[in-house]
Amino acid sequence: MREVVLYVEDHPVNVLLMQTVFELRPELDLVVAIDGSSAMATTAHLKPSLLLLDLRLPDCHGTELLERMRRVPGWAEIPAVAVTAEAEFMPAGTSFCDVWHKPLRVPTLLARLDRMIAPRAAHRDSSASSIARPSPGFTRTTFAT
């Protein structure tokens, strides 16, 4: 069973970097949303294994988006990482479990990604088959609209 990661990022260069990183992890599917509205739209048909959220989105702040996502049934337990250029940002007081500061270094990003995904994959049981997967038509990297 493939793991799905939702990446919410509006900057095309950052999206391109993440797509390149995910090419090195072909067992993972990357779904990209470019703003909070399109990210929220995915909650109706997707339950990713990991959320990667930029903080400065065109229509909201990433912490606000995460609070809204946490209210969606089944989304409260999904690990979420702030991916940000805000050097001072600390996850205390939020439901982010980690912060990955930009500029991202590929070897560090791969190691962190592996640490976030591997434990979940190792502890999956047969009940995980009920988790929603991308609908037909999604590809390895999908842009949510």
- Which domains can be identified in the chain, with CATH numbers? 3-123+131-144 (3.40.50.2300)
Task: Kindly report the pTM of this predicted structure.
Answer: 0.82
| Helix or strand (DSSP H, E) at 17 | helix 12-23
Q: Each residue's pLDDT tens digit in the chain (145 positions)?
A: 689 999 999 999 999 999 999 999 999 999 999 999 999 999 999 999 999 999 999 999 999 999 999 999 999 999 999 999 998 888 888 999 999 999 999 999 999 999 998 765 554 433 433 333 333 333 356 676 5
CB 40 within 8 A of CB 65: yes
CA 80/CA 122 separation, integer angstroms: 18
CA 137/CA 15 separation, integer angstroms: 20
CB 86 within 8 A of CB 102: no
